[in-house]
């Protein structure tokens, strides 16, 4: 990595620290993942700005601060079985892999599924991927220690709640199509869930049987 590139990555990490991200493991994972590979038409400099960027199929790669916050809220551990809903570019899955998670990710858009699969393999990330309706989760592989949803849902999909391990955590943005609130949901028992809220964000809609209609 050139000195210029190293400076840009350090600048991004310092920006995240200034905004309140203090999880060293998450910060190190973000620094390791080459974000420019996931937004190939944006150029290196723009790739390391703390902004969301467009990718194929009218989707986006989230702002690094949002990725860092959601990943910190998940509070993963080595070997955690994590389900991601909305693979997109594959960036979030790569970060979870850097955190030594066993990552399962579901994407409903064929182009994104194929492109992310090719890129993640090229970068040597060992990720389990599926082309399917993400709102229904991945029942065959459940339960999961952690679930992260990278699109805005009108409500929390029941299928995802049911696939969460007891004591497991889910991070999901919930609201209308304009603005969503970040939820951290903890499954305390078979039928009891606790929800904490962490501010407002804007995501593309979560499309599917238990999300928004296409």
Q: Which residues are catalytic?
A: 62
3-state secondary structure the chain: CCHHHHHHHHHHHHHHHHCCCCCHHHHHHHHHCCHHHHCCCCCHHHHCCCCCEECCCCCEECCHHHHHHHHHHHCCCCCCEEEEECCCCCHHHHHHHHCCCEEEEEECCHHHHHHHHHHHHHCCCCCEEEECCHHHCCHHHCCEEEEEECCEECCCCHHHHHCEEEEEEEEEEEECCCCEEEEEEEECCCCCEEEEEEEEECCCECECCCCECC
CB atoms within 10 A of CB 155: 11
Query: Prior bond to 119 cis, omega within 30?
Result: no
């Amino acid at each position: 990595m050139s000195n210029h590139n190293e400076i840009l990555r350090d600048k991004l990490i310092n920006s995240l620290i200034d905004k309140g991200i203090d999880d060293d493991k998450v910060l190190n994972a973000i620094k390791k993942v080459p974000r420019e590979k996931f937004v190939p038409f944006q150029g290196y400099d723009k790739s390391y700005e703390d902004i969301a960027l467009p990718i194929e199929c009218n989707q986006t790669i989230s702002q690094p601060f949002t990725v860092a916050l959601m990943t910190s809220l998940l509070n993963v551990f080595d070997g955690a079985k994590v389900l991601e809903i909305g693979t997109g570019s594959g960036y979030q899955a790569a970060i979870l892999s850097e955190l030594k998670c066993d990552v399962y990710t579901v994407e409903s858009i064929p182009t994104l599924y194929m492109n992310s699969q090719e890129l993640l393999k090229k970068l040597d990330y060992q990720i389990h991927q599926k082309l399917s309706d993400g709102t229904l989760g991945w029942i065959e592989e459940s339960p999961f220690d952690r679930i992260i949803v990278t699109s805005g849902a009108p409500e929390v999909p029941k299928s995802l709640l049911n696939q969460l391990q007891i004591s497991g955590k889910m991070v999901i943005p919930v609201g209308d199509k304009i603005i969503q609130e970040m939820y951290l949901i903890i499954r305390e028992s078979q039928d009891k869930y606790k929800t904490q809220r962490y501010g407002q964000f804007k995501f593309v809609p979560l499309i599917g049987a238990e999300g928004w209609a296409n």
